[in-house]
Structure formats: structure tokens, C-alpha cells
Amino acid sequence: MRKPYVYITRKLPEPIVDQFRLFSEVKMWNSENLPVPREVLLEEASKADALLTMLSDKVDQQLLSVGKNLKVIANLAVGFDNIDVIEATKRGVAVCNTPDILTDTTADLVFSLILMTARKLVEAVDCVKSGEWKSWSPLFMAGADVHHKTIGIVGMGKIGEAVAKRALGFDMKVLYHNRNRKVEAEQTLGVTYQSFNDLVSESDFVVCLTPLTEETKGMFNKETFRKMKHAAFFINASRGAVAVEKDLVDALKNGEIAGAGLDVFVKEPIDLDHPLLQLENVVALPHIGSASVETRLAMMKRCCQNIELILNGKQPLNVLNM
Ligand code: GLV
Ligand code: GLV
């Protein structure tokens, strides 16, 4: 019997590829750092039974229509806004993601971003390394406290709950907003549900963890930033397009908010001359929420398991559209 053909859109470590070789013929794009060109992706999709994709690959109608043999798309991410899941479902293609295994790693990064932004840690490191540290002085590199402040989490999924646990360890008051109330989290963690507007105006740290959908696109805009406290920080580790970047730049420039910690941008990589990167009160990271070696390897293995299970007609561990 012909072995199924799996195409992986980025170079992965050999031990992972070996796992694929056990049940498939596998090929991958031969660069770790650069995405597969669209023409190559379409050509491969037209032959493949399964694709392992990155969040930088667009899996749209065009790709799905050429992918006549496709049975499964496994995305190396928990987010899946790069995939047209409705179209995949119509064509009987399963879409898998990697939830759960990246929850704590991502929450650690979110909390780091909060601390980095509030305590000016990037500026502080730069100043030591560039020889600008002249003496201990009373307000030198003095930032804002994190402990005992109010954090407002927008998008209370598993990562949101893991961030809430960390915040409670810092004696923070935790507010959250979500499409559905999380009654169990309210009871077990002691977090408080708020309307979006109240959360935004009461929080010292507004933390966005919501998936990107038609409803959440641009939800952080001029009006939202205007409602925030002048001393508050905006932290985004979901998808760039939940915020209107131009409005964020204006709010940061005009002192409507104190700063922003961003792991995600509308265009990734962000252009070097983007106004956000010119501002001192912005900490920018290169979309590394789940980037620990342990977690990334676990995510790759999970994609491999899901692909194998689906190709064998079995129930996958994670699927968005069964
Ligand atoms: C990263 O952003 C992910 O969705 O896993
Ligand atoms: C800081 O190191 C202090 O002693 O206040």
C-alpha cells in the first residue's frame, strides 16, 4: 500500500521527522527561519495527504481547493486564524492545533512581558551593557509595581487561567472578560468577571489573550485606549490584529496609557521603521509565547500524533472540526 505523503512547512529536528517516517513519506521545507514560498506550498498541498503548518502559512480556499488528497492540516500552534476552518470542514479536511501543552509556557511568557514592561527591564539591561549606568540613584530606572495591582485578562481560556494563577501569586486583583462566564474559575481561583468596558477602565494591566476572530479584530482601538488609566499597561500575546496599531501608537505617544508589552503584531516580522518600535515605552518580542525547547518539541510531537491518528482513521487528540 502507498504510504501517505506528509509535507511539513518548516525544517524540524531530525528526531521529530523520524517519527513521521514510521508511517509516512515525509518532506519538509528546508529552512528553519524562512517560511515556505506560496508556490511551493500550493504544489506540495496538491500532492499531500497531510500538512504540518506554521501560523505564518495561509491555509485558505485556494490551498484547500488544490489539496485534493488532503485529510488533515495540523497547525503548530494553539491559534488557527491562519486557517479557513469552515472551508476545510466543507471539504472534509480535519484541522488540528496544539492546545494545553503550551499553556504554562505561554503564561510564563505573558507574565515575563508584564514584568519587563512595568519594570523597564529591557531598557535597564541595555543601559548596563552600553555603559550608561553611572551610579545608583533614587529614581533611576524606576518603573511601576506589579504586585497588588489589578490585572484584567481579556480572553479567559486555559492560558488566561494560568496567567491568573501567576497574578494571584503576586497578590494581584484579577478581573477577566470572556464570551462565556467561567464560573468554576471564579470559584476556584477567586477571579471576577467584568464587562469589557469596566475591565479596561479598572485594570492596571490589560492583558489580551483572546483568539483573533471577526468579533475580536480591532477590539483594542482609540476608544478602548482612551478608557484605560493613564498609568495602565497594554499587554498583547494573542494576535496583533486584535489591536489597531495606529491607535495604540497614538495612545502611547499622547500618554493615554503608560506602556505596552507586545509579543504579536499585525505584520510579523514587524517592519523595523514601524512607529511602535520607535517608542521607549514599548517592549516588543518576536512572537515567542510558547517558545521553550520542551514545549515546542511537545507541540511538534503532538502534530505528528494527530496526523498519524487521522491518517489511520482514528480519533485525534486535538481537532477543531470533527
Ligand atoms: C501562538 O501564537 C499559538 O497560537 O500557538
Ligand atoms: C536596593 O538594593 C536597596 O538596598 O534599596
Q: Is the CB of 76 under 6 A from ligand 1?
A: no
| Atom from ligand 1 closest to the CA of residue 97 | 5
User: Average pLDDT, stretch 266-282?
Assistant: 98
Q: 239 an active-site residue?
A: yes
Protein residue whose Cα sits closest to atom 3 of ligand 1: 77
Q: Do 5-100+293-311 and 103-284 show the same overall fold?
A: yes
Write out pLDDT tens, residues 146-181: 999 999 999 999 999 999 999 999 999 999 999 999
Write out pLDDT tens, residues 87-113: 999 999 999 999 999 999 999 999 999
pTM exceeding 0.85: yes
Where along the chain do its domains lie?
A: 5-100+293-311, 103-284
Q: In the structure, what pLDDT confidence band is assigned to residue 1 with cuts at 50, 70 and 90?
A: confident
Q: What angle do CA 207, 321, 291 make, to 5 degrees?
A: 40
Q: Which of 215, 223, 268, 280 is catalytic?
A: 268
- Nearest by Cα to 224 from 213, 236, 214, 212: 236
User: Average pLDDT, stretch 59-82?
Assistant: 98
Q: For residue 7, what pLDDT is reported?
A: 98
- Nearest by Cα to 48 from 83, 4, 91: 4
User: Average pLDDT, stretch 111-133?
Assistant: 97
Q: In the structure, what pLDDT confidence band is assigned to residue 196 with cuts at 50, 70 and 90?
A: very high
Residue 2 has pLDDT above 90, yes or no: no
Q: Which of 166, 239, 296, 302 is catalytic?
A: 239
| Residue that the C-alpha cell 535597564 belongs to | 124
Q: How many helices (H) and strands (E) does the chain have?
A: 12, 12
Ligand 1: which of 78, 83, 158 to mutate, judged by most atoms within 8 Å of the beta carbon?
78
Q: Find the ligand nearest to 265 CA.
A: 1
Q: 294 an active-site residue?
A: no
**Strands (DSSP E) along the chain, which ranges?**
5-8, 25-28, 50-53, 72-75, 94-96, 150-154, 173-177, 192-193, 205-208, 233-236, 259-262, 282-284
What is the distance between the alpha carbons of residues 254 and 185, in angstroms, rounded to a whole number?
36
Residue 63 has pLDDT above 90, yes or no: yes
Residue 3 has pLDDT above 80, yes or no: yes
CB-CB neighbours of 183 under 10 Å: 9
CA of 140 to the centre of ligand 2 (A): 12
Residue range 103-284, CATH number: 3.40.50.720
Write out pLDDT tens, residues 14-54: 999 999 999 999 999 999 999 999 999 999 999 999 999 99
| Atom from ligand 1 closest to the CA of residue 79 | 4
Q: Is the CB of 77 under 6 A from ligand 1?
A: yes
Mean pLDDT of the chain: 98
Q: Is the CB of 289 under 6 A from ligand 1?
A: yes
CA of 142 to the centre of ligand 2 (A): 12
CATH classification number, 5-100+293-311, choose in 3.40.50.300, 3.40.50.720, 3.90.1150.10, 3.20.10.10: 3.40.50.720
What is the distance between the alpha carbons of residues 115 and 100, in angstroms, rounded to a whole number?
24
